[in-house]
């Protein structure tokens, strides 16, 4: 595990920091520290323009291979980019699903034609993606997917079903959809990975309003939605293998950027504690120290996790990451409210919009559920990482 950076890496860090400082101003000044979790509904068009600005500077897809349009940066430099991006207050990435999930999956499993067709728009910051995995009865248990797809006489895929918790579906051009293409199949069998255009009559998107009052999540309904025969990644029935590889990419180098966003939140909480005197409460001081230590542990485990292959396979260390960060972040949200004290329950004036830490608290309640609940994460650790017997499951 590498926890120090070379002089060349540190020069690269300065390059990233200087570029961010030079461009996160003017028309993009309002985007600083905006558009992250719980705030993803803000400034969508301006953040799409920011994606194009990043592309102009060569700062999209920095870890992708040059043949796919990326910069082919080393793991160290990718870590530095994501950390400095978050440190500078870079806005939540509208292109993160394409860059971090769809693109690497297409590069690893897609055909040459699919790579030529889909990867350039991600690199250029002009094509945006969403993820069609979870369903009302198949959230943490992804193998219970019921959305189905069948080929018509022309070979095109017709998709019927419902996806839920689909982030930014209303702003996306394409969706990768895990669908059941083998009638009568159950579990991991008979699933396929389809690339589906969102702008068509067979797709309707309905926002889901959360307790924060925002609605970046959506339900997506497919009613004979169509995608070309060539838009299947891999072969029919290989969807589970590809879906699991994609989740491996999700635990990639951008996790270090996520942790820098957490650091920004912790820094804000510490600053408030120093201002309002909460830092003199020994119990709160202890919790602040524990939060600081916990974030360092997350960082070191991520660096250990990134020491392995970057091909979508998961080292055993990677299986603890979701459980670790979600539990830590939920605790941070509670800590923020306790540091704020009575101010945590007050809003300035109509229309009574939540401040950043209030949104953090409410949104972080969901961290231990989405992306696989903590209960599911513990099963994954036990069964896949530790080799323990599988939990008994009811017969289908």
Which domains does the chain show, CATH number per domain? 7-93 (1.10.540.10), 129-235 (2.40.110.10), 251-386 (1.20.140.10)
**Residue 218 pLDDT greater than 70, yes or no:** yes
Residue 50: its pLDDT value, please?
A: 98
Distance CA(269)–CA(332), nearest Å, equals 9
pLDDT value of residue 140: 67
Is residue 190 a contact partner of residue 227, using CB atoms and an 8 Å limit? no
pLDDT in tens, 93-147: 999 999 999 999 999 999 999 999 999 999 999 999 999 999 998 766 788 899 9
The three-state (H, E, C) secondary structure of 232-268, written as one string:
EECCCCCHHHHHHHHHHHHCCCCHHHHHHHHHHHHHH
pLDDT tens-place string over residues 319-373: 888 999 999 999 999 999 999 999 999 988 777 788 889 989 998 998 998 878 8
Average pLDDT over residues 376-390: 90
Q: What is the pLDDT of residue 308?
A: 60
Lowest mean pLDDT segment, chosen from 15-24, 61-70, 293-302? 293-302
What is the rounded CA–CA span in Å between residue 276 and residue 247?
42
Q: Which residue has the higher pLDDT, 317 or 77?
A: 77
Residue 91 pLDDT exceeds 90: yes
Q: What average pLDDT does this structure show over 6-32?
A: 96
In whole angstroms, what is the distance from residue 175 CA to residue 197 CA?
6
The confidence score (pLDDT) of residue 96 equals 93
- Mean pLDDT over residues 70-89, rounded? 91
Whether residue 15 lies in the annotated active site: no
Q: How far apart are CA 222 and CA 147, in angstroms?
A: 8
Task: Flag whether pLDDT at 388 surpasses 90.
Answer: yes
Structure tokens at 41: 């509904």
**What is the pTM (predicted TM-score) of this model?**
0.87
The 10s digit of each residue's pLDDT in 109-123 is 999 999 999 999 999
**Per-residue pLDDT, 251:** 66
**Please, which pLDDT band fits residue 221 given cuts at 50, 70 and 90?**
very high
Q: Which two tokens stand for residue 10?
A: 């540190």
Average pLDDT score, the chain:
91
From 84, 99, 216, 250, active-site residue: 250
Tokens representing residue 253 in the block: 């180098």
Residue 163 CA to residue 137 CA, distance in Å, equals 10
Tell me the C-alpha distance between 117 and 115, whole Å.
5
Burial 233-272 (b: 16+ CB within 10 A, else e): bbebbebbbbbebbbbbbbbbbbbbbbbbbbbbbebbbeb
**Which three-class secondary structure state does DSSP give residue 321?**
helix
Structure tokens of 67? 């043949």
Of 315 and 156, the structure prediction assigns the larger pLDDT to 156
pLDDT score of 396 more than 70: no
pLDDT, residue 373, reads: 87
- Collect all residues with Cβ–Cβ distance below 8 Å to 133 and sequence separation of at least 6: 142, 145, 163, 178, 243
Alpha-carbon span 271 to 265, nearest angstrom: 10
The C-alpha R_g of the chain, in whole angstroms, comes to 21
Written as six digits, the tokens of 371 are: 């992306």
pLDDT tens-digit series, residues 196-208: 999 999 999 999 9
């Amino acid at each position: 595990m590498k926890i120090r950076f070379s002089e060349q890496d540190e020069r690269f860090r300065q390059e990233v920091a200087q570029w961010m400082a030079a461009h996160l101003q003017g028309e993009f000044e309002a985007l600083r520290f905006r558009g992250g979790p719980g705030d993803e509904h803000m400034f969508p068009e301006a953040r799409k323009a920011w994606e194009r600005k990043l592309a102009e500077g060569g700062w999209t897809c920095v870890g992708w291979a040059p043949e796919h349009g990326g910069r082919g940066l080393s793991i160290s430099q990718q870590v530095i980019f994501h950390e400095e991006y978050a440190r500078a207050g870079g806005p939540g990435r509208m292109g993160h699903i394409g860059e971090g999930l769809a693109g690497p999956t297409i590069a690893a499993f897609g055909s040459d034609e699919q790579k030529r067709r889909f990867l350039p728009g991600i690199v250029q910051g002009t094509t945006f993606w969403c993820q069609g995995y979870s369903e009302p009865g198949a959230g943490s248990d992804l193998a219970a997917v019921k959305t189905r797809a069948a080929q018509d006489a022309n070979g095109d895929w017709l998709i019927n079903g419902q996806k839920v918790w689909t982030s930014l579906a209303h702003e996306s051009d394409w969706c990768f959809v895990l669908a059941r293409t083998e009638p009568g199949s159950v579990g991991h069998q008979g699933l396929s990975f389809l690339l589906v255009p969102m702008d068509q009559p067979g797709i309707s998107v309905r926002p889901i309003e959360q307790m924060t009052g925002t609605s970046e999540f959506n339900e997506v309904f497919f009613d004979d939605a169509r995608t070309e025969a060539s838009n299947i990644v891999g072969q029919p029935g290989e969807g589970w293998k590809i879906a699991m590889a994609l989740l491996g990419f999700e635990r990639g180098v951008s996790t270090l950027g996520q942790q820098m966003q957490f650091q920004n939140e912790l820094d804000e909480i510490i600053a408030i504690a120093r201002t309002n005197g909460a830092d003199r409460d020994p119990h709160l001081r202890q919790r602040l120290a524990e939060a600081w230590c916990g974030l360092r542990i997350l960082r070191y485990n991520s660096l250990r996790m990134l020491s392995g292959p970057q091909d979508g396979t998961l080292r055993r260390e990677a299986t603890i990451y979701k459980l670790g960060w979600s539990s830590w972040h939920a605790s941070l949200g509670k800590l923020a409210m306790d540091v704020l004290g009575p101010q945590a329950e007050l809003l300035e004036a109509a229309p009574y919009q939540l401040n950043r830490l209030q949104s953090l608290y409410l949104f972080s309640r969901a961290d231990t559920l989405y992306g696989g609940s903590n209960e599911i994460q513990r099963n994954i650790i036990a069964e896949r990482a530790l080799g323990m017997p599988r939990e008994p499951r009811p017969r289908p």
